[in-house]
């Protein structure tokens, strides 16, 4: 935890969140991460409303046919350097929806992913750890 | 400093329908007509069930909606158990009641927090969501999972409540009861909440019935209907609790229904723990059910849920049909939006509890000028908060 | 055999008395469960009967099933019993697969509006008289003649 505070002094990542074809369980765990028990806002992590202000795109859900173009567009609107976190098994690989028409699979079918956080749903601790790994990458000069 | 939250584009949860677009026709600021367009995140689950074995279907049913996951697995298992013509052991039935009520408490608290968020009352949201964690602690104690319980199996349940757990659960319930009573007090007394919810989104009793509304939306319009009473499944008829209704027919009534239901759920769990029968928690069944069809209904936090299953004696279902409560409430929602202002939309749509934010985009058309524009839900929420702030000056 | 008839049995008895000549199957399979099969042209009459005689105003949903030789439609109607939506009367009908049309019941049960649209979207059944039988859940760019819940439909590679 101490190292996160250190990193966030260097850089306070602004996050854009997007859900694509998901069941909501990962969403509410991501939201729980912002709520008082886990409270990542104290690390300077802020949820933002527009792709143009965001450093990190956090995505839950398997990609569906309709959301694929929208996901791509949002990714393209983000300024460089940008990073993507796939939250939940569905975002990593399509998860439980194998064989469902309309589901393409994990989000890496559409955009490049930096950090995969599996879980069905993810645990908030895993989300924090995933974000910490990304911050390490940022600090290490990870480029896009 | 106020943070602006972009509310996730949420799946609704009907098995195969997720994410809405609402199209509004306006006369100035007033809504004249509403048509819904669903399907932005349609996944194809009903067809997916036909590719899976009966047991694998439980895990897919569970993920129709992560918030209501337990009613979905309960309903599915109840329907399949009818195919086997078997009733699960009593202890399993009581355990099912407990997890379904825990799920209801979790969902209603989540909603109460979200109502606060929709009307700009972020502190309320934060407090409620902090206390909601206590429910998830109890769920994690029993099942190992915080959200998606994975407790149901065809033939019973897979986890049991041991005596040491019982003490922890009861203490958790005491805490939740005290906090819920406090949140209800806030609902009853806080002028901002009342101003934004009283006489807003009114749905008359006859409309609620004719448009086939379900859940708190129905009960907030004074209709005494709840699947736990209409169709007492899993031994609910052995537990004494109240069917909560309120006569005001507005958003406020629906909020009060949910607050009271949370308190009722806490009582139900206590009674189940008091009366818990001993015995096995599941019965072994053959892998494949005999041919036939069955239909089961349960009361999910959002309302009546139905699962229909058809077996042709094979390893995989011939057909699984799932009708989720939010779909049932959409015609009623369109009706309750008419005549209100754009700024009321977030509270009204939230009042049917469509998985805390169902709408992705809203299309507005002014019938006088022909002008049209699209807003995201966060744009709408910002507009709504600003509108009511200006009015208070 | 119980001394008094249960409500389910009473409903079944009334259905038989009034529609006996068109009903092909009628059974009470358990508490709160009645199944009745009628031809499509009698469906509206049955629903009107349930509404007028028993005050049944709640349609839970409409299930459409591809039975290969025909489409089966099940209208799950909740009829008052001990509580106002206690008894499920499942009204079944079959329509030909090569001409899947059915009269709409939205004027009798307004709550059916989205359920008919859903069945139309996924199985291609046309409900005549429906006020707006548009797409409900499939995406806008979904091809017009592809109906995913039909048994002969296979997903295409994307």
pTM: 0.91
A19 touches chain B (CB under 8 A): yes
Contacts of A104 in chain C (CB under 8 A): 158
Q: Which pLDDT does position A98 carry in this prediction?
A: 86
Helices (H) and strands (E) in chain C, counts: 3, 7
pLDDT for residue B373 is more than 90: no
Q: Is residue A100 a part of any domain in this protein?
A: yes
Lowest model confidence (mean pLDDT) among A96-110, B85-99, C83-97: A96-110
Q: How many domains does chain A have?
A: 1
How far apart are alpha carbons B82 and B99 in whole angstroms? 21
Hey, are the CB atoms on B210 and C110 less than 8 Å from each other?
Answer: yes
C30 touches chain A (CB under 8 A): no
Identify which has the larger pLDDT, A6 or B185: B185
Of the pLDDT bands very low, low, confident and very high (cuts 50, 70, 90), residue C1 is: very low
Three-class secondary structure assignment of chain A: CHHHHHHHHHCCCEEEEEECCCCCHHHHHHHHHHCCCCCHHHHCCEEECCHHHCCEEEEECCEECCHHHHHHHHHHHCCCCCEEEEECHHHHHCHHHCCCCCEEECHHHCCCCCEEECCCCCCHHHHHHHHHHHHHHHHCCCCC
How far apart are alpha carbons B258 and B112 in whole angstroms? 8
Burial B174-189 (b: 16+ CB within 10 A, else e): eebbebbeebbebbee
Q: What is the pLDDT of residues B220-250, one digit of tens each?
A: 999 999 999 999 999 999 999 999 999 999 9
Lowest model confidence (mean pLDDT) among A26-35, B131-140, C125-134: A26-35
Contacts of B9 in chain A (CB under 8 A): 18-20
Three-class secondary structure assignment of B313-329: CCCCCCEEEEECHHHHH
CB-nearest partner of A25 from B41, B52, B148: B148
Q: What is the pLDDT of residues A84-97, one digit of tens each?
A: 999 999 999 988 88
Q: Which pLDDT does position B361 carry in this prediction?
A: 57
| Rounded average pLDDT over C62-71 | 96
pLDDT for residue B16 is more than 70: no
Hey, are the CB atoms on C149 and B46 less than 8 Å from each other?
Answer: yes
Of the pLDDT bands very low, low, confident and very high (cuts 50, 70, 90), residue C157 is: low
Q: Which pLDDT does position A11 carry in this prediction?
A: 62
How far apart are alpha carbons B354 and B342 in whole angstroms? 18
pLDDT for residue A34 is more than 80: no
Identify which has the larger pLDDT, B126 or B320: B320
How far apart are alpha carbons A107 and A71 in whole angstroms? 9
Of the pLDDT bands very low, low, confident and very high (cuts 50, 70, 90), residue A31 is: confident
Q: Which pLDDT does position B136 carry in this prediction?
A: 93
Q: Are A18 and A110 in contact (CB under 8 A)?
A: no
Range of the domain at C96: 7-128
pLDDT for residue C3 is more than 50: no
Q: Which pLDDT does position B6 carry in this prediction?
A: 24
Q: Is residue A60 a part of any domain in this protein?
A: yes
How far apart are alpha carbons B52 and B58 in whole angstroms? 10
How far apart are alpha carbons B189 and B194 in whole angstroms? 8
| Rounded average pLDDT over B186-209 | 94
- Percent of chain B having pLDDT more than 70? 91
Q: Is residue A46 a part of any domain in this protein?
A: yes
Q: What is the pLDDT of residues B260-284, one digit of tens each?
A: 999 999 999 999 999 999 999 999 9
C59 touches chain B (CB under 8 A): yes
Q: Which pLDDT does position C64 carry in this prediction?
A: 96
Q: Which pLDDT does position B337 carry in this prediction?
A: 94
Hey, are the CB atoms on C148 and A101 less than 8 Å from each other?
Answer: yes
Residue C141: count of CB within 10 angstroms of its CB: 8
Q: Of C90, C39, C6, whose CA–CA distance to B79 is shortest?
A: C90
| Rounded average pLDDT over B60-65 | 88
Identify which has the larger pLDDT, C140 or C74: C74
Smallest Cα distance from A60 to chain C, Å: 20
Phi/psi zone of residue B227: left (φ > 0), alpha (ψ -120 to 50 degrees), beta? Answer: alpha
Interface confidence (ipTM) of the complex: 0.95
Q: What residues of B are in the C interface, CB distance below 8 Å?
A: 16-17, 35, 37-40, 42, 44, 46-47, 82, 209-212, 223-225, 227, 229-231, 295, 297, 304, 306, 308, 310, 318-319, 321, 323, 327-328, 330-331
| Structure letter (DSSP) for residue B189 | H
- Percent of chain C having pLDDT more than 90? 84
Smallest Cα distance from A69 to chain C, Å: 12
Most confident range (mean pLDDT) of A35-39, A125-129, C119-123 is: C119-123
Strands A83-87 and A115-117: parallel
Contacts of C148 in chain A (CB under 8 A): 101
Q: Is residue A143 a part of any domain in this protein?
A: no
Residue B88: count of CB within 10 angstroms of its CB: 25
| Structure letter (DSSP) for residue C110 | G
Hey, are the CB atoms on B295 and C109 less than 8 Å from each other?
Answer: no
Hey, are the CB atoms on B308 and C63 less than 8 Å from each other?
Answer: yes
Q: Which residue of B has its CA nearest to A23?
A: B65
Q: Are B104 and B262 in contact (CB under 8 A)?
A: yes
| Contacts with A1 (C-beta within 8 Å, 6 or more apart), sequence order | none
Residue C155: count of CB within 10 angstroms of its CB: 14
Q: What residues of B are in the A interface, CB distance below 8 Å?
A: 3-6, 8-11, 13, 18, 39-45, 47-48, 51-52, 59-60, 63-67, 69, 110, 126-127, 129-130, 133, 146-148, 355-356, 378
Q: Is residue C136 a part of any domain in this protein?
A: no
Q: Of B297, B326, B308, B179, whose CA–CA distance to B227 is shortest?
A: B297
Q: Which pLDDT does position A70 carry in this prediction?
A: 81
Residue C111: count of CB within 10 angstroms of its CB: 24
CATH number at residue C44: 3.30.460.80
Q: Which pLDDT does position C9 carry in this prediction?
A: 95
Q: Where are the alpha helices (DSSP H) in C32-145?
A: 43-54, 113-123
- Chain B interface mutation, best of C67, C79, C85, highest count of B Cβ atoms under 10 Å: C85
Contacts of B295 in chain C (CB under 8 A): 33, 76, 88, 90
Q: Of B27, B41, B147, B43, whose CA–CA distance to B99 is shortest?
A: B147
How far apart are alpha carbons B154 and B165 in whole angstroms? 24
Of the pLDDT bands very low, low, confident and very high (cuts 50, 70, 90), residue B2 is: very low
Handedness of CA B76, B82, B83, B84 (dihedral sign): positive
| Rounded average pLDDT over B292-299 | 97
Q: Which pLDDT does position B295 carry in this prediction?
A: 97
C158 touches chain A (CB under 8 A): yes
Hey, are the CB atoms on C139 and A66 less than 8 Å from each other?
Answer: yes
Q: Is residue A144 a part of any domain in this protein?
A: no
Q: Where are the alpha helices (DSSP H) in chain B?
A: 45-49, 54-62, 69-84, 90-118, 122-143, 163-189, 191-197, 205-210, 215-219, 227-230, 251-275, 325-337, 345-351, 377-392
- Chain A interface mutation, best of C136, C137, C139, C151, highest count of A Cβ atoms under 10 Å: C139
A96 touches chain B (CB under 8 A): yes
C54 touches chain B (CB under 8 A): no
Q: Which pLDDT does position C6 carry in this prediction?
A: 92
Q: How many domains does chain C have?
A: 1
pLDDT for residue B22 is more than 90: no
pLDDT for residue B24 is more than 90: no
Hey, are the CB atoms on B129 and A17 less than 8 Å from each other?
Answer: no
Q: Which pLDDT does position B175 carry in this prediction?
A: 97
How far apart are alpha carbons B360 and B122 in whole angstroms? 21
Decide: residue B371, CB within 10 A, 0-12 exposed, 13-18 middle, 19+ buried: exposed
Handedness of CA C82, B212, C62, C55 (dihedral sign): positive
How far apart are alpha carbons A109 and A102 in whole angstroms? 14
Most confident range (mean pLDDT) of A31-45, B111-125, B253-267 is: B253-267
- Chain C interface mutation, best of B85, B206, B212, highest count of C Cβ atoms under 10 Å: B212
Q: What is the pLDDT of residues C132-147, one digit of tens each?
A: 898 888 877 788 888 9
Paired with C34 in beta bridges are C28, C89
Strands A14-19 and A56-60: parallel
CATH number at residue A35: 3.40.50.12280
Question: CATH second-level architecture of B45-350?
Answer: Orthogonal Bundle (1.10)
pLDDT for residue B355 is more than 70: no
Task: Report the Cα B226 to chain-centroid distance in Å.
Answer: 13
The number of residues in chain C equals: 158
Chains within contact range of chain B (3+ C-beta pairs < 8 Å): A, C
Range of the domain at A8: 2-138
Indicate the helix (H) or strand (E) that contains C78. strand C70-79
pLDDT for residue B323 is more than 60: yes
Of the pLDDT bands very low, low, confident and very high (cuts 50, 70, 90), residue B312 is: very high
| Structure letter (DSSP) for residue C25 | E
| Rounded average pLDDT over B56-82 | 93
Smallest Cα distance from A135 to chain B, Å: 21
Q: Which pLDDT does position A43 carry in this prediction?
A: 65
Q: Is residue A102 a part of any domain in this protein?
A: yes
How far apart are alpha carbons A25 and C127 in whole angstroms? 36
How far apart are alpha carbons A107 and A118 in whole angstroms? 13
With both helix axes pointing from N to C terminus, report the angle between B163-189 and B251-275 in degrees, rounded to the nearest 10: 160
Average pLDDT over chain B reads: 88
Contacts of C151 in chain A (CB under 8 A): none
């Amino acid at each position: 935890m101490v190292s996160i505070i250190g990193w966030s002094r260097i850089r306070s990542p602004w996050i854009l969140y997007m859900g694509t074809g998901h069941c909501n369980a990962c969403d509410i765990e991501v939201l729980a991460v912002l709520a008082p028990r886990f409270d990542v806002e104290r690390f300077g992590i802020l949820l933002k409303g527009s792709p143009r202000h965001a450093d990190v795109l956090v995505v839950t859900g398997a990609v569906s046919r309709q959301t694929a173009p929208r996901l791509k567009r949002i990714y393209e609107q983000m300024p460089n350097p940008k990073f993507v976190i796939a939250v939940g098994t569905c975002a990593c690989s399509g998860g439980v929806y194998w064989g469902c028409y309309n589901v393409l699979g994990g989000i890496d079918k559409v955009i490049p992913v930096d950090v995969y956080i599996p879980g069905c749903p993810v645990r908030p601790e895993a989300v924090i750890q995933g974000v910490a790994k990304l911050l390490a990458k940022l600090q290490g000069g990870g480029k896009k | 400093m106020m943070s602006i939250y972009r509310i996730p584009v949420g799946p609704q949860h009907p098995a195969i329908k997720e994410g809405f677009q609402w199209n509004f026709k306006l006369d100035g600021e007033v809504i004249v007509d509403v048509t819904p367009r669903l399907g932005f995140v349609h996944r194809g689950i009903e067809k997916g069930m036909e590719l899976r074995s009966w047991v694998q279907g439980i895990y897919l049913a569970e993920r129709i909606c992560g918030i209501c996951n337990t009613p979905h697995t309960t309903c599915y298992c109840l329907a399949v158990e009818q195919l086997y013509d078997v009733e699960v052991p009593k202890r399993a039935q009581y355990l099912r009641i407990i997890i379904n009520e825990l799920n209801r408490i979790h969902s209603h608290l989540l909603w109460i927090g979200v109502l606060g968020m929709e009307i700009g009352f972020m502190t309320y949201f934060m407090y409620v969501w902090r206390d909601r964690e206590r429910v998830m602690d109890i769920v994690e104690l029993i099942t190992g999972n915080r959200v998606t319980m994975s407790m149901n199996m065809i033939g019973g349940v897979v986890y049991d409540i041991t005596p040491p757990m019982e003490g922890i659960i009861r203490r958790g319930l005491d805490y939740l009861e005290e906090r819920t009573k406090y949140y209800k007090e806030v609902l009853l007394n806080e002028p901002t909440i009342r101003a934004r919810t009283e006489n807003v989104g009114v749905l008359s009793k006859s409309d609620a019935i004719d448009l086939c509304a379900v859940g708190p939306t129905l009960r907030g319009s004074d209709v005494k209907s709840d699947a736990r009473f209409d169709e007492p499944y899993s031994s609910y008829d052995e537990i004494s609790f109240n069917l909560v209704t309120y006569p005001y027919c507005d958003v406020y009534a629906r909020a009060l229904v949910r607050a009271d239901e949370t308190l009722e759920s806490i009582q139900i769990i206590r009674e189940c723990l008091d009366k818990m029968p001993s015995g096995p928690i599941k019965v072994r069944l053959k892998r494949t059910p005999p041919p036939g069809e069955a239909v089961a209904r349960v009361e999910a936090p959002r309302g009546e849920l139905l699962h229909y299953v058809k077996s042709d004696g094979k390893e995989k279902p011939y057909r699984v049909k799932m009708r989720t409560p939010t779909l049932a409430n959409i015609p009623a929602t369109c009706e309750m939006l008419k005549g209100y202002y754009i700024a009321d939309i977030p509270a009204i749509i939230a009042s049917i509890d469509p998985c805390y934010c169902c709408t992705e985009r809203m299309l507005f058309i002014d019938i006088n000028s022909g002008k049209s524009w699209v807003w995201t839900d966060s744009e709408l929420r910002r507009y709504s908060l600003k509108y009511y702030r200006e009015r208070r000056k | 055999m119980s001394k008094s008839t249960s409500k389910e049995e009473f409903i079944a008895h009334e259905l038989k008395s009034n529609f006996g000549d068109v009903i092909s199957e009628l059974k009470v399979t358990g508490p709160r469960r009645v199944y009745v099969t009628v031809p499509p042209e009698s469906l509206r009459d049955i629903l009107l009967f349930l509404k007028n005689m028993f005050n049944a105003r709640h349609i839970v949903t409409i299930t459409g099933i591809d039975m290969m030789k025909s489409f089966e439609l099940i209208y799950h109607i909740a009829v008052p019993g001990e509580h106002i939506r206690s008894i499920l009367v499942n009204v079944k009908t079959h329509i030909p697969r090569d001409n899947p049309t059915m009269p709409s019941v939205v004027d009798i049960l307004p709550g059916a509006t989205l359920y008919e649209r859903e069945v139309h979207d996924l199985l291609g059944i046309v409900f005549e008289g429906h006020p707006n039988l548009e797409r409900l859940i499939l995406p806008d760019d979904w091809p017009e003649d592809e109906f995913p819940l039909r048994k002969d439909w296979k997903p295409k590679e994307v």
